[in-house]
Amino acid sequence: MRLRLLALLVVGPAIAAGCAQDVQPSHDAPSRKMIVLGVDGMDPELLRDYMKQGDMPNAQRLMAYGGFRVLGTSEPPQSPVAWSNFITGLDPGGHGMFDFLALDRNNLLPYLTTSAVVPAEIGPLEIGDWRIPIEGDRVTLLRKGTAFWELLAAADVDVTIVRMPANYPPVPGSGDSLSGMGTPDLRGTSGTFMFFSSDPGFISRDVSGGELRKFGIEGDRLLAAVGGPPNSLRADAPRTSVVLEVIPDPVHDVALIRGGTRERLVKAGEWTDWIGVEFTMVPALAKVAGMVRIHVKSVHPFLEMYVSPVNIDPRSPAQEISAPADYAPMLAGQVGPFYTEEMPEDSKALSAHILSAEEYLDQSGVVLDESRRLLDFELQKFVAKADPAFLFFYFSTIDQRHHMMGRHIDPEHPFFAVNSPPRVRASMTETYRQIDQVLGKILDRVGPQAAVVVMSDHGFARFYRQAHLNAWLKEAGYLVLRDDAAPVSAESEGWLSGIDWSRTRAFSIGLNSLYINVAGRERHGIVPSAERLDLAREIADRLRTWTDAKNGLPVVTSPSLREEIYRGPMLAAAPDIIVGYGDGYRASWATSKGQTAGKLLEDNLDEWSADHCLDPDAAPGVLFSNLAMTSPAPQLTDLTVGILDYFGVRPVQGMRGVTPFAPMEVQRHVQ
Amino acid sequence: MFNSVSIKIDKRLWSRLKQLSEVAGYSSVDEFVVHALEKEVAAIGETESAEEMREKLKGLGYLK
């Protein structure tokens, strides 16, 4: 895999490599402007391929002024981790983001790594069935460290940060900021879609990330109860809902949707725009605003309707999605409402086969169009701004499409879709083209007056085989199941279930995290603290020997001890081993929940068919810019320092990166 | 009160606590502070339930 990385280093019109420059910034913020386009999941190999085909003319145009580099990603290369490296200039030992899932060692339950709800200091007054809050619960960002734009803002740089991942709730007091990955839907989940059918034979059920329901029927009207947030003002916290009425035309493929803010006539195959919905907490007194997009899949013979997760309405946000608080409403006022939930491309609806691959492309296209509108507006502002100014803007489309299109674009995939429509087959080429068009617009609008940087947090790799890490630990004698442990499948619920903690020395939960069951640290720990490191080393060594009997390939290529790769005050919170799988492998669906499957490996037959949560050398990101670069192999944390350096701002303690950019005297874009 | 101890807190915090204890119907600031601390200590180590976490995470594409 390292050979692949070396080969990529020479891609593009890179400036001759030299020694990295020491950071010696002054305190005077130079009169400069910079735009950073954060393209989640942009992959150097695909970028090279598409450039060769002539699909990325604007990327080539940008590189011609400056340079291109493969950008080293985080370990593990998961988005919350990688973006936090970039945001803080620290590794996970400093910022404390180690995996999508973190583990509470006291109760052995996972929690979302990025944010947590802190209950109000004083509980509510309970009057009958009502709970009257004296003060509200608070959502807190769990990422540690200083965001680089806090330093820029402190140096009087005009800062705008749009949809930076791992920034919910957004850092206050440092320019304008709209939250991104980590932002929940209005129900407080990572996104829960709904689907309604009028087919009498349809069976209502829940699927991962969605609720499938049969319409209620009243005469010629179909009723869809869209679930909202729990009513925390009631003692029993019942789930709120809004009922939409749907009236199918008896002859034509069209339906009238009533409810929410207004009526809409929708043809089969069409998407609505945003429909505002209000969930009543206290009749006539308290409501919470949300919004949904609806896709009518068919009207006859049965009406089938997809309803997006209920998004926080940016026109009247029920949660803190921007800083200052009026920034999100201002944006919505200028460009219209937009998705506010994290990773809004509805991969779950595709995995559940509620949306087809083409419908998924349509829906993710809506997300992309909204992002373009937001960017257009911010670009106008940026051009008009006085120096110094900084704009970060994030695009999720490449990442979320690549995850789902892997099986459509890769004939070697075990779940290859033989009969994909041409549009689906060409979807990744088209998506890269679309991002290139975005870049073209930036270059046309900004001209030579600003530094333009395009970067990604990681690239992409294949996800052919699921690695059941807990099953491997069991076979190797480190994990023991109880005699009554039930067999597991990908759909099994529960976390770390069936484990006999009195005899288990190591276990895995999350996508790349392996924990030693340490006495006094884990709830049921048995391994003496003094033996922890030796045991971790032993397991890491044995993991390197795990090969796939199907093809002889190594399953794990980079098992790293936390002490070897992390530095900082959060080190003790890290998993003991960060498991970097080989290209083609990823933690199984069961392993991610801490489940122990009955086999070591199996094919990945899910629509989620490409991934990047593996060996960081197998999924590096990209960095290209109209700034010339000196560093031959920059890391995300180097880019952080490079941005600060561009504005003459000193890095803070703990940032060990070195700017990847050449000194300003040799930069051409500003001359 | 042989088994009690005293701690020093900032005057502004005390004023806030006094205000809140009155709103919440406590008979004294002491009673309110002790109750708040008891709740806080009990909550240490507790997070959301397994079911709540499942509900929260089920939309994350990386998990099933």
Report pLDDT for B59.
76
The fraction of chain A above a pLDDT of 90, given in percent, is 83
**Chain-chain contact of B24 with A125 (C-beta, under 8 angstroms):** yes
Report pLDDT for A651.
97
Find the mean pLDDT for residues A259-286. Answer: 89
pLDDT tens digits, A392-430: 999 999 999 999 999 999 999 999 999 999 999 999 999
| pLDDT confidence bin for A39, thresholds 50/70/90 | very high
Chain A residue with minimal CA distance to B51? A494
- Give the separation between CA A188 and CA B57, rounded to whole angstroms: 9
The C-alpha of B50 sits at a distance from chain A's nearest C-alpha, in angstroms, of 6
Report pLDDT for A125.
66
Q: Identify all chain A residues contacting B33, using CB atoms and an 8 Å cutoff.
A: none
| pLDDT confidence bin for A128, thresholds 50/70/90 | confident
Kindly state whether residue B41 falls inside one of the protein's structural domains.
yes
| pLDDT confidence bin for A132, thresholds 50/70/90 | low
Radius of gyration of chain B (CA): 19
State the ipTM, two decimals. Answer: 0.77
Q: Among A276, A277, A272, which Cα is nearest to A305's?
A: A272
Cβ under 8 Å to B: A residues 241-300: none
pLDDT at B2 over 60: no
pTM of the model: 0.88
Closest partner residue to B45 (CB to CB) among A107, A185, A190 is A107
Chain A residue with minimal CA distance to B56? A189
Report pLDDT for A22.
33
Report pLDDT for A10.
33
Of the two residues A273 and B26, the one the predictor is more confident about is: A273
Is B5 at the interface with chain A, CB within 8 A?
Answer: no
Kindly state whether residue B63 falls inside one of the protein's structural domains.
no
Kindly state whether residue B26 falls inside one of the protein's structural domains.
yes
- End-to-end C-alpha distance for chain A, whole angstroms: 40
Report pLDDT for B24.
67
Q: Identify all chain A residues contacting B46, using CB atoms and an 8 Å cutoff.
A: 106-107
Q: Identify all chain B residues contacting A134, using CB atoms and an 8 Å cutoff.
A: 20, 23-24
Report pLDDT for A28.
55
CATH number for the segment(s) A2-73+144-183+324-459+619-666: 3.40.720
Closest partner residue to A111 (CB to CB) among B23, B47, B63 is B47
Report pLDDT for B39.
57
| pLDDT confidence bin for B14, thresholds 50/70/90 | confident
**Chain-chain contact of B43 with A104 (C-beta, under 8 angstroms):** no
> What b-and-e string marks burial along A113-123, b requiring 16 or more CB atoms within 10 Å of the CB?
bbbebeeeebe
Is B62 at the interface with chain A, CB within 8 A?
Answer: yes
- For testing contact with chain B, the best of A348, A397, A497 (most B CBs within 10 A): A348
Closest partner residue to A112 (CB to CB) among B36, B46, B57 is B57
Kindly state whether residue B1 falls inside one of the protein's structural domains.
no
**Chain-chain contact of A589 with B50 (C-beta, under 8 angstroms):** no
**Chain-chain contact of B63 with A589 (C-beta, under 8 angstroms):** yes
The full DSSP string for A27-52 is SS--S-EEEEEEETT--HHHHHHHHH
The C-alpha of B1 sits at a distance from chain A's nearest C-alpha, in angstroms, of 26
| pLDDT confidence bin for A135, thresholds 50/70/90 | low
Of the two residues A18 and A237, the one the predictor is more confident about is: A237
**Chain-chain contact of B48 with A495 (C-beta, under 8 angstroms):** no
The least confident of A270-284, A519-533, A553-567 is: A270-284
Listed in order, the ranges of chain A carrying CATH 3.40.720 are: 2-73+144-183+324-459+619-666
The answer to whether residues A327 and A176 touch, using CB atoms and an 8 Å cutoff, is yes
According to the per-residue pLDDT averaged within each range, which of A126-135, A332-341, A488-497 is highest? A332-341
Check the CA dihedral A280-A225-A117-A154 and report its sign. Answer: negative
| pLDDT confidence bin for B3, thresholds 50/70/90 | low
pLDDT at A364 over 70: yes
- Strands (E) across A347-427 are located at 389-395
Of the two residues A38 and A7, the one the predictor is more confident about is: A38
The answer to whether residues A609 and A600 touch, using CB atoms and an 8 Å cutoff, is no
pLDDT tens digits, A51-89: 999 999 999 999 998 999 999 999 999 999 999 999 999
The least confident of A227-236, A441-450, B17-26 is: B17-26
Q: Identify all chain A residues contacting B55, using CB atoms and an 8 Å cutoff.
A: 188-189
Write out the two tokens for A575: 């998993």
pLDDT at A130 over 80: no
Q: Identify all chain B residues contacting A110, using CB atoms and an 8 Å cutoff.
A: 53, 57
Quote the number of domains for chain B: 1
Q: Identify all chain A residues contacting B29, using CB atoms and an 8 Å cutoff.
A: none
pLDDT tens digits, A278-335: 999 888 778 899 999 999 999 999 999 999 999 999 999 999 999 999 999 999 999 9
pLDDT tens digits, A191-218: 999 999 999 999 999 999 999 999 999 9
Cβ under 8 Å to B: A residues 337-356: 343, 347-348, 351
Kindly state whether residue B43 falls inside one of the protein's structural domains.
yes
Find the mean pLDDT for residues A94-111. Answer: 94
Is A121 at the interface with chain B, CB within 8 A?
Answer: yes
- Per the structure, the complete domain to which residue B38 belongs is given by 11-57
